[in-house]
Structure 1
Amino acid sequence: MPLPQNVNVILGAGVFGIVCAATLYVVERFKQDRRRHAMAKDLARLDNELSVLRRELDNLLAAQRQKGLKRAKKTKKSESFASSTTTEDYSSAVDADSSDLEFYDVSDDEGATSTDLTQIDSVLDEGNVTELETCLQQLQTLRLEAPDNPELLWRVAKAHYRLFEKTDQQQHLFEGVEACNAALGLRPELANVHKWLAILLGSRTKFQPLKDKILDGLKVKQHVEAALRLSPHDSVLHHMLGRFCYDMAALKWYERKVATAIAADLPQSTYEEALGHFEEAERLNKDEWKKNLLFIAKCKLNMGLVEEGVWVLEKANEVKTDNGADNEDDKEVKELLKKHAR
């Protein structure tokens, strides 16, 4: 599975924002009005789509009734020839003719949905803004046919996150969280529901007041751990849990005091624990991952293993950069090398 394009956005704002919890407190209230306006537009659009679907359903049912009437007339005409046919044989013959029952056969619809989801997953991983917006519309249409399908709901949430990545529009985070929460109520054993809920919550905290920031940060850890129990070989989940442990270990005493005043059960962690998760993420990930190597090195440096840390930094320095997040990581790698290589 492709890695999120910007793990800093996923992680650096949330729990992961507890490190700076004593100072981050601004909430932009006018954004709430914008979200309400956007939701009202979505509801109006969905109501229109439902009306169209109702009309189409009425037309199909009317056509179905017409076919039934025609068949009844044909049956009357052929009654004289039916004396040698048992009731069971007649029923089997009717059942064998699937043309009139086609509307009620969901097997074809399920196949189409499977194909649609394959295409949707490709767009969610690689699409641009226009493609992602079209993809989200397609998912919303599919939800009209299957409103309680959690596989659709977590993909809706992922689409909202991808759009947030590319547009920085906050309402996508809040709508994505709503979709994931709905999926969680339907099927809590789906790893992707917990994973994308953790990602969205971690990103949303950047726009929240201090108390919500810390409480949502703790929820991130809970959902990452739940996702890992269901999908233990997901390298991104191990990296996310490593980031949580790293930030907990890095808290200064006064930062922990402020955070503990809000969340009394604030967990403790160590650089050794964080390192274990980063190393597991490295083992599971098939591609070169500069950020994960950077955090392995930072753990080792904080543990006093300077030579090992420098060796990992040199390895990270060789990884090519291909996006803005990597460029930031590359800058930090070079700064740490300059500081510790001596």
Structure 2
Amino acid sequence: MSSTPNQLYIIGAGLVGIMGAVSIILYEHFRQERRSRAMAQNLNRIDAQITNMREELERMRKSQKAKRNHFSTKPTISSAKSYTISDTEDYKSPSDTSDQEFFDISDEEVDGLVREPKELTLIDIDKRLGTDDTEIILETLTILDNLCGKYPNDPQFWYRLAKCCHAAAVHSVQPQTKRENISKGVNACNRALNFEPNNPEVHKLYAILVGLRSDFEPTKQRIADGFLFKQHVDIAIKLNPTDASLHHMLGRFKYEIAGLKWFERKVATALFGEPPNGTYDEALNCFLEAERLTSSDWKENKMYIGKCYIALGDIHRGIDWLQQAIDIVSGSQMEELSLNSEIGRLLNQYNVYR
């Protein structure tokens, strides 16, 4: 990624430019614990998948042998096809139907990615999406393009294509390439939502991409994207209310809106017939909920809790939260420098009121 590889940014969902200043770091905080959980879950799924495949192959072997003993003939290619796994066309029955060769199922390569049962394919893709290597991300983008073309009705591939587009966009140093990847990611989210309209992760990713898109949009579109951002965050929270990152995102949105100047609200109202809504109290509640739901220290979320308290006039409590935030070691050097700079500035500014 162009900043740091393991961070996702929402930059400006835009209400008359105020969201253009927003950089929401979403997954860095959860990366390590998610990877640990994901690794354990993936190993369990792989083990179960292999066990199921072995049992299925053994049943197929016995059934095939029974048929040959009954008819005293070899099954034809067409009959052998009836024993292939129905969820994928990647298993082809060879013309030689001897016990050993009929069940010697070989893997098919697609652009360097082993095409195994869908669950294992998705695990391989997810490993690729978790990499810091730009070249691997771009290779995975090509792989997912091909998979979405071959399986256009599978939302899991469209969702991962959108994730890969986001990663490629954040990595990109060329504005035009970044814009194209963001647009492609939004379209992939739309395709995924056509099949799974109640998938909270797709709605969250949609909001992230819309936020990134504002860098390239005129003022009116940025305002529209602000409403679109909130719409998808609201849906995602309704579907998955225990996701701390979603509450943080909503808090960031409300915090920025609470700081809108009166004339900025006037412009938004003139263009869309309604002013954006958000207060520091609402933003604080969102950040506190994110804090309650997270299991580890989240530097950025604590910083925003402190900023909300300061905005509400509770300077002492705000400074306490800022002090907690600055003592946390962040997950990346860039994030550490950026957040510590802002926290340090606020502490210097408000410590005199303590």
TM-score (norm 2): 0.70
Q: Answer yes or no: is the 8 Å Cα contact 2:265–2:276 preserved in 1.
A: no
Cα deviation, residue 128, structure 1: 1.7
- Secondary structure (helix, strand or coil) at the match of 2:130 reads helix
Q: Does 1:158 align with 2:167?
A: no
Given that residues 210 and 225 in structure 2 are in contact (C-alpha distance below 8 angstroms), is that contact kept between their aligned partners in structure 1? yes
The answer to whether residue 334 in structure 2 is matched with residue 324 in structure 1 is yes
Per-residue deviation, 1:171: 0.9
Alignment of 1:1-342 (within 5 A): 5-6=6-7, 9-10=9-10, 12-15=11-14, 18-19=17-18, 99-102=80-83, 105-106=86-87, 112-168=117-173, 169-321=178-330, 322-342=332-352
Deviation at 1:127, TM superposition (A): 3.3
> Greater RCO between the two (CA within 8 Å, min separation 6)?
1
SS at match of 1:225: helix
Between the aligned residues of both structures, percent identity stands at 33
Is the CA contact 1:176–1:200 (under 8 Å) kept in the aligned structure 2? yes
The 3 A distance-change label for structure 1 pair 185 and 274 is same
Partner AA of 2:86 in structure 1: D
- Which structure 2 residue ranges, 5 or more long, are not aligned? 22-67, 91-114
Q: Say whether the 8 Å CA contact 1:241–1:274 is kept in structure 2.
A: yes
* Mapped partners of 2:75, 2:12: distance in 1: 62
- 1:71 corresponding residue in structure 2: none
Superposed displacement of residue 218, structure 1: 0.5
Contact 1:16 1:202 in 2 (8 A): no
CA distance in 1, matches of 2:269, 2:335: 31
Q: 1:323 to 1:162 in 2, by over 3 A?
A: farther
Other-structure match for 1:62: none
Q: By how many angstroms is 1:106 displaced? A: 2.5
Q: Are the counterparts in 1 of residues 16 and 264 from structure 2 also a CA contact under 8 Å? A: no
Query: What secondary structure does 1:248 align onto?
Result: helix
In 1, Cα distance between the equivalents of 2:311 and 2:81?
71
Structure 1's unaligned 5+ residue stretches are 24-74
* 154-163 vs 132-141, which moves further: 132-141
* One-letter amino acid matched to 1:247: E
State the Cα distance separating 1:326 from its structure 2 match.
Answer: 3.4
Amino acid at match of 1:147: P
Q: Distance in 1 between matches of 2:323 and 2:205?
A: 32
- CA RMSD after TM alignment: 3.0
Stretches (4+) displaced over 6 A: none
Distance in 1 between residues matched to 2:276 and 2:199, nearest whole Å? 25
CA distance in 2, matches of 1:270, 1:99: 66
Within 2, Cα distance between the matches of 1:328 and 1:261?
A: 36
Q: Report the structure number with the largest CA radius of gyration.
A: 1
Taking the aligned partners of 1:98 and 1:328, their CA distance within structure 2 comes to: 64
How far, CA to CA, are the matches of 1:282 and 1:16 in structure 2?
A: 26
> Secondary structure of the residue that 2:117 maps to in structure 1?
helix
Bigger mean CA deviation after superposition, 261-270 or 210-219: 261-270
From the two aligned structures, give the one with the greater helix fraction. 1
Deviation at 1:317, TM superposition (A): 0.6
Separation in 1 of the partners of 2:317 and 2:185? 40
In structure 1, C-alpha distance between the alignment counterparts of 2:141 and 2:170, rounded to whole Å: 14
Structure 1 residues 286, 98: closer, same or farther in 2, change over 3 A? farther
Instruction: Determine the C-alpha separation between the residues in 1 that align with 2:301 and 2:321.
Output: 10
In 2, Cα distance between the equivalents of 1:106 and 1:298?
52
Give, in angstroms, the shift of residue 103 of structure 1: 5.2
The aligned amino acid for 1:175 is K
Report the Cα offset of residue 266 of structure 1: 2.8
Structure 1 pair 146/107, CA: closer, same or farther in 2 (3 Å)? closer
Structure 1 residue identity aligned to 2:287: F
CA–CA distance in structure 1, aligned partners of residues 217 and 261 of structure 2: 22
